[in-house]
Every structure is written in structure tokens, then in C-alpha cells.
Chain A
Amino acid sequence: MAANMKVKERVAKKQTLCGALMLIEALKAENVKVIFGYPGGAVLPIYDKLYESGVFHVLTRHEQGAIHAAEGYARISGKPGVVIATSGPGATNIVTGLTDAMMDSIPLVVFTGQVASSVIGSDAFQEADVLGITMPITKHSYQVRDVHELPKIIKEAFHIATTGRPGPVLIDIPKDMAVAEEEFDYEQEVQLPGYQPTTKPNHLQIRKLVEAVSQAKRPVILAGAGVLHANAHEQLKQYAEQQHIPVIHTLLGLGGFPADHPLFLGMAGMHGTYTANMALYECDLLINVGARFDDRVTGNLAHFAPKATVAHIDIDPAEIGKNVPTKIPIVGDAKEALIQLIEQNGKRPDVSDWLKQLNEWKREYPLMYKREPGVLKPQRLIEMIHEYTNGEAVVTTDVGQHQMWVAQYYKFKQPHRWVTSGGLGTMGFGLPAAIGAQLAQPEATVVSIVGDGGFQMTLQELSVIQELNLPIKIVIVNNQALGMVRQWQEIFYEKRYSHSLIPNQPDFVRLAEAYGMKAMRATTEEEAEYVLKEALATNAPVLLDFHVCPGENVYPMVAPGKGLHEMVGVKW
């Protein structure tokens, strides 16, 4: 509180500050609690001022770790993640994270150092055209040319990152701009005439949807991460219950609707449930709330929802009609739209036959796997984690088989518990993301479930976990392979396992111990139960290396190019 007052006083005085101090004051004014970064030559003036600023800075061991941690923080807290990287290699190391955040609509404000203005363009030491490199993978980007503009730029960056469809915003700061002094005025209105996101949905379009719902026989809601970004989970539940419409989630939307609700049909798409996918195929009205019709969700577009009138609620108008022709477009915030729909309280459709059919599918074609004595099945492992954490843990993952098993078998009941790289599918995401997630929710049980492949891409961040004593439980689903690659090679490339099998993995337990971390290994269900319980009872970081059945595949599955109704692996 006192610190805030101090900022306000300083701001009111319109003090003269150097660019680096402006940045720090702006972060304080934006109520930024934690930043993730890595120092270097071009950002030394900023780090020098950071030294005594009181701002909590997490030194990750790689810039990729910093930006994924910031993503994890943003995905859990809903607040923008803040990153600082130096110029050149520091800046290029954040490219993956920027793309990841862009694809999954995650609010980030990223500061990169740049060589001094006088040498920009001369191929100076550690110079990279960061603006040019990152333009297509950011919502917006800036290069500071005049320190006078820095406060305005930072203010705009936070506004752009967090409003409309959230996304990453980058600010490239030449070294001389961090040193130059100017009057600091942060009390300014953001004026961006070219950026006016529509949040209030069009009333007539809402009426059209109400009318369509009243006449539907087989309606279904496909809910994406937009529901979570808009904090519209309660309204989604209220609306679905009011109209008696079943709900399907996309991968990123999981947790937006309780997985144990009778109207929930599961996840849609390539590894979705049979019921969800068949519901999408058979529905006569599809209400998309905040999902972007990603190809992993739709399968072959020619067979996607062929019998349905499509309504699409999205804050980004460019998503509507992009992949799937839409009859009822509704541009706006998901929460606003759902509130209007609830208030309209339209005639409830007669869905009794439809629900009967859906329940039949649920009974007939549940998710399934075979348990074998003495073998640890990865699906069972996820079920156990779900059970021992009461389905309330914050779970982060990488991409691949383990990610799909978590999506299938960890039944998220609440929003903002699920942190995964959806659009970009980034290996190495889960471990650093868990750091950010734990910092965002210090009281939460954070479980980072990663594959043995992805873990080795960012495992250096174990050092941060240990240093900050973050009680993250790291679960390695170790199948001595790049599991999903192996699965595709098995199915589509005649079992020609080209460079996907890694039988000689390092001893992950000893590796964790080298970082000073407690670690255990399990190879059977019984061992898994024991180590999981022990780890979850420990208020410190623990790494668990689970040697799971290496040949296990993720089913059911929609093969690439197939329609959602052409799933395989739904029955024994």
C-alpha cells in the first residue's frame, strides 16, 4: 500500500526519470507482482534499477523458461505475465513462448533489450531485428525511439495485452533509451482509435440465437478458452442448465464447465470422447462459445457438424467464419453474450431424445484402457493423480501423449486449473509454466506432468524450482520415447520408429537430486500409489519418474483428414 502511494506521489509530481526507472514505476503502477527474466548487456541499465526496486524478479535459467513461466502465471492468475530478455539471443530465445501465447491468447508484456539506437542496423554485437522477427507472433509490438514515449507505450501495451482477445505485446528498448531521462507521466488515457474491441454483443444476433435454440432438437455448446478468458464459467453453467443444452469442451477450455456435470460430454477433437465427437457430427445447432474451430477440434472440415446451424460467439471477429461457415455470428465478450442469453430466457428446446441418445453413447463408448498386473498404465497414473488431488490441482503439461491422457482422465471441475500449450503444442512448456502457476497461486497444489522428451528441453528450470522452494510435483510420464511421434509412426508409418525411441534416458531421479530435489521412481501401480501419496504430502518440490507402459497409445483417435464421426479405438 505504502509502495503504491509512493508511486502515485511520484507520478503526480511528473518526476524526471530514466527509461529503466520509468519501466519499473510503470510495472508498479500496473500492479505487477512478479516478472520473469534473464539479464544481458543490453538490459543492464534496467537490471541495475531493478536491483533495489523491490519488484520480485525470477531468474529462470533460459529465456524460454522465463516466457513459459510468465504464460503459466498469466493462465492461472488472469493477469498479464511480464518478461524481460536481453537483445539478440536473449530476445530470439523467447520466440517460441511468444508464438505459444499468441496461439492460445495469453496476455503477456515482454520487454526486450536492443542495441543502442545509434548502432541499430549495423549488425552490432547481440543485435537482432526483434521487431521484424516477432511481428507475426505478437498481438502488437513497439520499438522505443524516444524515451518520452515509453510510459505511453507501456500503458498501451498492458491495455492491448489484456483487452479484447488477449495476447502478447512486445516492447523493444534500445539501451540508450533505458538510460535517457525524461518526464514520467503515467496518468494518461489510452487512445487507440484503431483498436476498439467489441465486447457488447449485438442484440439482434442474440435474439436470432435464442430463436434458433428454441427450435433446435439436437443443440450442443462447444466451449473454448474464451469462456475462461472472459471468466464466464458460471454463466456457461447457468445457461446450459437453463436451456438444457449439453456442453463439449475444447482442449484449452477444460475446466470451464464441471467435468462431473451430467450435461458434460467431454473433450472434442482428435482425442476427444466418442460422445463429444458424435454430438458435434449429429447436432442440429452448434453454439460455439469462445473457441476458434482449430483443426485438432474439427477434424476434416468437410465432415464437421454437417447437419448443424452454426452460431459462434467470439470477441475476435476474424475468428468467426474463418474455418467454419457461421449462420449466427455474435461478436463480443463470452460473459456478456451468455448473460444476455440467460436474461432472454428463451423457450427451452425439447432435447429429451437427444439427451437420451447422448447418454447411451456415454454408457456405450466411455474412455477406456486395459489395466495389466505389474504394468503402470499412464491413464491409470493420471486417474490416481486426479484422485489424490481431488481433481483440484493446478496441472501443467507439455505436448503429446501425456497431455492427451491428462485431458482425458484428469476431470477438471473448476476453471483456471489447467495449463497446457494447446495451439502451438510446445514441448518443454510444462515445467517452466508450473513455476509461473505456483507463483500465481502459492497455496495450490501444482502438478507438472511432462513427457521424458519435453522435460529434457527445459529441465534446467529445476534449478529455479529448488531455489524458490516451490512445492511443485513434477511427474515424468516416462515411456522412453517421444510418445506421440512414436504412436503416429506406429499407425501411419508402418512402425518405422525413426528417431523417436530413446531407451537410454538419463537417471532422472539422480538428476533431480543433483539439483538438490527430492525424487522417486515408480514402475508399478503400487509403487506409483506410494510415491504419489508421499510426494503430495510433502511441502517441497518432488520429482517423480514414472516408468509407464512404453507401447501405450492414446485412444480414441480421429486420424488426420478424417471426420469426427470416423474415430478409431472407441471399442475393444
Chain B
Amino acid sequence: MKRIITMTVNNRPGVLNRITGLFTKRHYNIESITVGHTESEGISRMTFVVNVEDERIAEQITKQLNKQIDVLKVVDITDQAIIVRELALIKVAVTPATRSEIYTLIEPFRAAIVDVARDSLVVQVTGEPEKIDALIDLLKPYGLKEVARTGTTAFPRGSQRASSTNKSLFII
């Protein structure tokens, strides 16, 4: 089962290493990680997507992450109302004949062309990972030259209470 775990951490050297090391030691497979600054100085947000066998392992991951001194808050947001986004840059091969076809194709995805060359285009798309998968699938027949995906970043929607506001609340 796929779980989306977000956490805020002190932005210190080695923090990512500590966390990924923890995953490696315990044999948890990370599907994606995204990291970036938050609104508070010195604090970063990480979003993990992990594939685990059951809820017990998901709980164990959250608890182990909680134990890290530089981790301020961990929340498994999978079951909340959340906004999930990923960004992808897709370089696709084009010919004069297919160029306009691709323009039409990407429009419903609200994707944008961010670079044009004689024989290729770079498409930028954001959305849920499934939407990006679908667009990549559609573009595949034209010849994918390069694909760069950021991995999932996610957020609980504003209208609901977060499932946990405090590390210690997770305990019971």
C-alpha cells in the first residue's frame, strides 16, 4: 500500500542522510522524496511516498522518523483530504508534422510548452502522478527523449484539521 508521509525538519546538514539511512536500515522502499523550504526560516518540508505491506509498517516508519532529533513533525496524510502534485518536464521528439498535434494533445492536461527546438519540445506538466503518467503515455509514441519528474509533494487541504499537531499525539 502506498503511503504519503510529510514532515517538517530542521534544515541542517545531514538531515536527509539521517532519514534516508533510517529507511535503508529498515528496508523500507522509498518511491519518492521531495524536499524544500517552508515559510519558516531554517525549517524544511519533506514529502515521502513509500510502498509498505501494511499499516503496522506505516506506523513504525512514522514512529521511527519521529525519533529523529531534527524531525519536528511527522504526519501520514494518506487518508486525509490532500492536494497531491508532481511536476514533470518531458522532452518529446517532434517533426513539423507532429508539432501541432502535440500542442492539441497536451492542452486538456493544462501542460505548457517551455522549450522548442527544431526536432523536440519540452512539455511542463503539473498534477497528480496519475495525470502525469497518462500524459507520458500519450506522448510516448512520438518518441520520448528525456523525462524528469520531481516526485510527489503533498499538503492537507485547508478546510480540515491536521491529523496530528504534535509528535507525542502519535503515540496513542
Contacts and interface: CB of A to CB of B under 8 A. Distances in A.
Interface of A: 131-132, 135-136, 139-140, 143, 145, 160, 192-196, 198, 202, 205, 316-318, 320-322, 325, 329, 331
Interface string B6-29: 000110011001100110010000
B60 A321 contact: yes
A160 B22 contact: no
B69 A195 contact: yes
Contacts of A316: 67
B56 interface: yes
Interface stretch (B80-88, B132-140, B164-172): B164-172
A329 B172 contact: yes
B159 to A, nearest CB: 27
A318 B56 contact: no
A316 B59 CA distance: 14
A317 B22 CA distance: 16
Interface of B: 9-10, 13-14, 17-18, 21-22, 25, 56, 59-60, 63-64, 66-73, 167-168, 170-172
Contacts of B63: 317-318, 322
Given A135-B14, A136-B22, A136-B25, A192 B69 contact: yes
A194 B19 CA distance: 14
B69 A135 contact: no
A91 to B, nearest CB: 16
Contacts of A194: 9-10, 68-73, 167
Contact of A198 (B14, B68, B72, B171): B171
Given A135-B14, A136-B21, A205 B71 contact: no
B168 A198 contact: yes
Closest 9 CB pairs of A and B: A318-B63, A331-B171, A317-B171, A194-B72, A140-B69, A195-B69, A198-B168, A136-B25, A194-B71
23 contacts: A132-B17, A135-B18, A135-B21, A136-B22, A140-B69, A145-B13, A160-B69, A192-B69, A194-B70, A198-B171, A202-B172, A205-B172, A316-B67, A318-B63, A318-B64, A318-B66, A318-B67, A320-B171, A321-B56, A321-B59, A322-B60, A325-B56, A331-B168
**Which among B17, B22, B63, B66 has the greatest number of chain A C-beta atoms within 10 A?**
B63
B72 A193 contact: yes
A317 B14 contact: no
Contacts of B171: 198, 202, 317, 320, 329, 331
A131 B14 contact: yes
A298 to B, nearest CB: 16
A345 to B, nearest CB: 24
A152 to B, nearest CB: 13
A327 B63 CA distance: 17
Contacts, number: 57
A195 B66 CA distance: 9
Nearest to B10: A194
A455 to B, nearest CB: 31
A140 B72 CA distance: 14
Given A132-B17, A194-B68, A318-B67, A331 B172 contact: yes
Nearest to A165: B67
Contacts of A140: 69
**Which among A143, A194, A322 has the greatest number of chain B C-beta atoms within 10 A?**
A194
B41 to A, nearest CB: 14
A329 B56 CA distance: 14
Contact of B167 (A132, A145, A160, A196): A196
Contacts of A331: 168, 171-172
Contacts of B14: 131, 135, 143
A160 to B, nearest CB: 6
Given A316-B67, A317-B168, A317-B171, 8 more contacts: A135-B18, A136-B21, A196-B167, A196-B168, A318-B63, A322-B63, A329-B171, A331-B168
A143 B21 CA distance: 17
B45 to A, nearest CB: 14
Contacts of A192: 69
**Which among A139, A193, A195, A317 has the greatest number of chain B C-beta atoms within 10 A?**
A317
B163 to A, nearest CB: 16
A245 B68 CA distance: 36
Nearest to A331: B171
Contacts of B64: 318
B83 to A, nearest CB: 25
B164 to A, nearest CB: 12
Contacts of A160: 69
Contacts of B68: 194
Contacts of A322: 60, 63
A330 B67 CA distance: 17
A317 B74 CA distance: 14
A355 B100 CA distance: 85
Contacts of B56: 321, 325
A196 B72 CA distance: 10
Nearest to B166: A196
B94 to A, nearest CB: 44
